[in-house]
Amino acid sequence: MAQHMHISEYEANEATLLLSCECGWKGKTTEANGELHEVVMDIECPKCDKMLLIVNLIVDAQKYFDWKESKKE
């Protein structure tokens, strides 16, 4: 199962954060495959594409929901 972390925790530890996968791959998050979505970023193993880390990008949930509501109009 993928690890979960908030963007503030990720940014504070990005330079030293090491990931490992069941397939044997080990490395830094910068060496893995990242995919950016609207509210999360996922980090996948570059060897087998297994999701290793999910980063929550929402800093202020109310601002996000207000923004989302404004897009409906």
**Block mean pLDDT (10 aa), the chain, length 73:** 93 92 95 92 96 92 82 75
Which of these, 9, 10, 29, 11, lies nearest to 21 by C-alpha position? 29
Q: Could you tell me the two tokens for 57?
A: 């990008």
pLDDT of residue 18: 95
- Its pTM stands at 0.80
| Domain assignment of residue 57, given as a range | 3-72
Check residue 38 and give its pLDDT: 87
- Average pLDDT along the chain: 91
- Per-residue pLDDT at 73: 67
Burial status of residue 32 (CB atoms within 10 A of its CB: 0-12, 13-18, 19 or more) = buried
The total number of structural domains that make up the chain:
1
